[in-house]
C-alpha cells in the first residue's frame, strides 16, 4: 500500500511514477478526488458531532431550568443532527471503501535506479557467470550438441519424470517425480535450505493455506485473485502461490523489536498457481506448473538498510547457482516488468542449452514498506521512540523444479546419463543418474 500522504503532497511526481509502472494516467486523480471527498465528509461529521454535544448541553440546561419549550426544541434539534450524522456516516463508509479499493490496486513505486520502460525489453543485464572448468559440458552460447535433449525428454527417457500420469491424475501442468527424480528434487532443496541457514536465515515450516487477509498483506489480493487457488467455505482460504505469503505474514500486525532487525527467514513450500494468461507457454516440462516446490528467502529490515540487504540476498541466490556450477546472468527489471509490490527487482536466469537462452530461476525484490503498510508490520526506533514501518524483501532461493531442469540439461552426457553436481552428491548418494539406478 502506498503512503496516501505522499500521493497528496507529491501529486505530479507520484502520477508520473505510476505511469512508469503502466498505470493509466488519471487513475491517481480519481483516487485523490475521492480522498478529498472522504476528508471533507470527515470534517463535516466532526462539526456535526461537536454540534450534537452542544445541543446535548442545551437539553440538560433547559431541563434543569424546567423550560419544557426550550427542551423540546433542543430535543428536536438533536434528532435532526443525529439524522445528518447517520447520513454522513453512510456516505463516508461508501467513499472510504472506494478509496481503499482504488489504493489497493496501485502497484509500488519504483526506485529511481530502476530502468524505465513498459516491458521486459527494457531490462538491463548486470552481470553473467559460468564455471571456469565446464568438465566437458557445453558452454553457454556454444553450439548445442546434436545429442543433447530437453530436460523433459531426458527425464522421460530415464523414467524419472512422469508427465503422462501426472496429467491423468490432476490435469495439464502436473507430474510425478519418480525414483532418482524424486531423490534429486529432495537433494536440491535440502542443499538450498542448508546454504541459507549457513547465511543466517532461520528455517520455518509454514502453513500452505492462508486467509484472504494474508494474501492482501503481501499484495497478491485483490489484483491477482484470478491466479490463485481459493478453497474452503466461501473461498475463505487460499493455497499459497509462494512461501513469501506465509513468511511475511508470520509477523503481520506486530511491532518488532529493533534488535531483531535485520531478520532473515527461509522456507521450502509447494507453490500453487493457476497460471492465468500462460496458455500455450511452456506446455511441456518443469518450467511452468500449477504446483511446484520453491525455497523462499524473506527479510525484515530497517528502511536505511534495505538496499544493502537486497544486494546480499541476490548474492545468496547466486551462491546456490555458483555452487551448482550452472551458468546464469543477473538482470535488473524495468518499471514495466517488475512485480506488483516491488520497488526494485533482480532476476536470476539460468542457461538452458536446448532452448539457447536464459530462463528465470529466481526473482529477488525489495518491496520497501509496501507490504509492511498493508500488513501493519512495524518496529520502534530506539533513537526517536517512534514507530516505523519495516522494509520487506523476498527472493527465490531457488525455484526447485527449474533447478532440477537446469541440471538435467547442463549436466547431461552423450550416453544419456546425468552427472550429479558435486555439491549435491552427499545429499543424493551417487554421482550419476542412469537407467540402471533411476529407480
Domain locations along the chain: 4-104, 120-433
284 alpha carbon, distance to own chain's centre = 25
pLDDT (average), residues 92-113: 97
Contact status, residue 291 vs residue 174, Cβ threshold 8 Å: yes
Identify the pLDDT of residue 69. Answer: 79
Alpha carbon distance 405, 384 (integer Å): 50
pLDDT surpasses 90 at 98: yes
CATH for 120-433 is: 3.30.930.10
Looking at the chain, the number of H-run helices and the number of E-run strands are 13, 18
Q: What is the pLDDT of residue 277?
A: 67
DSSP string, 177-220: E-THHHHHHHHHHHHHHHHHHHTTPEE----SEEEHHHHHHTT-
pLDDT, one tens digit per residue, over 267-326 is 999 999 998 666 677 889 999 999 999 999 999 999 999 999 999 999 999 999 999 999
Fold matches, 4-104 and 120-433? no
pLDDT at position 289 is: 97
Q: Is 366 labelled a binding residue? A: no
Indicate the SS3 state at residue 77: helix
- CA-to-CA distance for 343 and 245, rounded, in angstroms? 17
Does 101 show up as a binding residue in the annotation?
no
Annotated binding residue at 279?
Answer: no
Query: By mean pLDDT, which of 145-149, 166-170, 425-429 is the weakest?
Result: 145-149
214 is known to lie in a ligand binding site = no
% the chain with pLDDT above 70? 97
Whole-number Å distance between alpha carbons of 382 and 173: 50
| Cα–Cα distance, 218 to 300 (Å, whole number) | 13
The whole-angstrom distance between residue 292's C-alpha and the CA centroid of its chain comes to 16
**Annotated binding residue 75:** no
Q: Is the CB of residue 327 less than 8 Å from the CB of residue 139?
A: yes
Residue 201 above 70 pLDDT?
yes
Q: Does the pLDDT of residue 417 top 90, yes or no?
A: yes
d(CA 248, CA 214): 9
8-state DSSP, 284: S
Do the annotations mark residue 361 as ligand-binding? Answer: yes
How distant, in Å, are the alpha carbons of 3, 46, 302, 364, 371 from that of 256? 20, 34, 11, 23, 15
Q: Is 436 annotated as contributing to ligand binding?
A: no
Specify the pLDDT at position 180: 98
pTM for the predicted model, two decimal places: 0.93
Is 10 annotated in a binding site? The answer is no
211 marked among binding-site residues: no
Instruction: Provide CATH code, domain 4-104.
Output: 1.10.287.40
The per-residue pLDDT for 140 is 65
* Contact criterion met (CB below 8 Å) for 397 and 362: yes
The percent of the chain in helix, strand and coil, each rounded to the nearest 5, is 45, 20, 35
pLDDT of 139 over the 70 cut? no
Q: How far apart are the first and last CA of the chain?
A: 49
Q: Is 46 annotated as a binding residue?
A: no
What's the pLDDT at 143? 77
Question: 263, 264, 217: which is closest to 240 by C-alpha?
Answer: 217
Does 275 count as an annotated binding residue?
yes
239 pLDDT band (50/70/90 cuts)?
very high
So what's the pLDDT on residue 67? 79
What are the two backbone dihedrals, phi and then psi, of residue 44, each rounded to the nearest 5 degrees?
-65, -40
Mean pLDDT (whole number) for 97-104: 97
> Dihedral sign, CA of 357, 126, 189, 427?
positive
| Cα dihedral 372, 375, 379, 381 sign | positive
Q: How large is the average pLDDT for residues 225-239?
A: 92
Q: Is 212 annotated as a binding residue?
A: no
Q: Is 396 annotated as a binding residue?
A: yes
Amino acid at each position: 500500500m502506498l503512503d496516501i500522504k505522499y500521493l497528496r503532497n507529491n501529486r505530479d511526481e507520484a502520477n508520473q511514477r505510476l505511469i512508469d509502472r503502466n498505470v493509466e494516467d488519471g487513475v491517481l486523480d480519481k483516487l485523490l478526488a475521492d480522498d478529498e471527498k472522504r476528508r471533507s465528509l470527515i470534517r463535516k461529521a466532526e462539526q456535526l458531532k461537536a454540534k450534537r454535544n452542544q445541543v446535548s448541553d442545551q437539553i440538560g440546561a433547559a431541563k434543569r431550568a424546567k423550560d419544557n419549550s426550550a427542551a423540546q426544541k433542543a430535543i428536536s434539534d438533536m434528532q435532526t443532527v443525529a439524522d445528518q450524522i447517520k447520513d454522513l456516516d453512510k456516505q463516508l463508509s461508501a467513499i472510504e471503501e472506494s478509496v481503499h479499493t482504488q489504493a489497493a490496486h496501485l502497484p509500488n513505486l519504483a526506485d529511481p535506479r530502476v530502468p524505465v520502460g513498459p516491458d521486459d525489453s527494457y531490462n538491463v543485464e548486470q552481470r553473467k557467470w559460468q564455471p571456469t572448468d565446464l568438465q566437458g559440458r557445453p558452454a553457454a552460447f556454444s553450439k548445442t550438441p546434436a545429442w543433447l535433449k530437453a530436460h523433459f525428454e531426458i527425464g522421460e527417457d530415464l523414467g524419472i519424470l512422469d508427465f503422462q500420469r501426472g496429467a491423468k491424475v490432476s490435469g495439464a501442468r502436473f507430474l510425478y517425480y519418480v525414483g532418482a527424480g524424486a531423490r534429486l528434487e529432495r537433494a536440491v532443496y535440502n542443499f538450498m535450505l542448508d546454504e541459507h541457514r549457513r547465511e543466517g536465515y532461520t528455517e520455518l515450516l509454514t502453513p500452505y493455506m492462508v486467509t484472504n487477509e494474508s494474501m492482501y498483506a503481501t499484495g497478491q489480493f485483490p489484483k491477482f485473485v484470478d491466479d490463485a487457488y481459493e478453497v474452503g467455505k466461501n473461498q475463505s482460504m487460499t493455497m499459497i502461490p509462494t512461501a513469501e505469503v506465509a513468511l511475511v505474514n508470520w509477523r503481520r500486525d506486530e511491532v518488532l523489536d529493533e534488535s531483531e532487525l535485520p531478520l532473515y527467514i527461509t522456507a521450502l513450500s509447494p507453490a500453487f498457481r493457476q497460471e492465468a494468461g500462460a496458455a500455450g507457454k511452456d506446455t511441456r516440462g518443469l518450467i511452468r506448473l500449477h504446483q511446484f516446490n520453491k525455497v523462499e528467502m524473506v527479510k525484515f529490515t530497517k528502511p536505511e538498510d534495505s538496499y544493502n540487504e537486497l544486494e546480499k540476498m541476490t548474492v545468496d541466490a547466486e551462491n546456490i547457482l555458483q555452487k551448482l556450477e550452472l551458468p546464469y546472468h543477473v538482470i535488473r527489471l524495468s518499471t514495466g516488468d517488475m512485480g506488483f509490490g516491488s520497488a526494485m527487482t533482480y532476476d536470476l536466469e539460468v542457461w538452458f542449452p536446448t532452448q539457447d537462452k536464459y530462463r528465470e530461476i529466481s526473482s529477488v525484490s525489495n518491496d520497501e514498506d509496501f507490504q509492511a503498510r498493508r500488513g501493519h508490520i512495524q518496529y520502534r526506533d530506539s533513537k526517536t521512540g517512534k514507530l516505523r514501518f519495516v522494509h520487506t524483501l523476498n527472493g527465490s532461493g531457488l525455484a526447485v523444479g527449474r533447478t532440477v531442469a537446469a541440471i538435467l540439461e547442463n549436466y547431461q552426457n552423450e550416453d544419456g546419463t546425468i552427472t550429479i553436481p558435486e555439491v549435491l552428491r552427499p545429499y543424493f548418494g551417487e554421482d550419476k543418474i542412469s537407467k540402471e539406478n533411476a529407480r
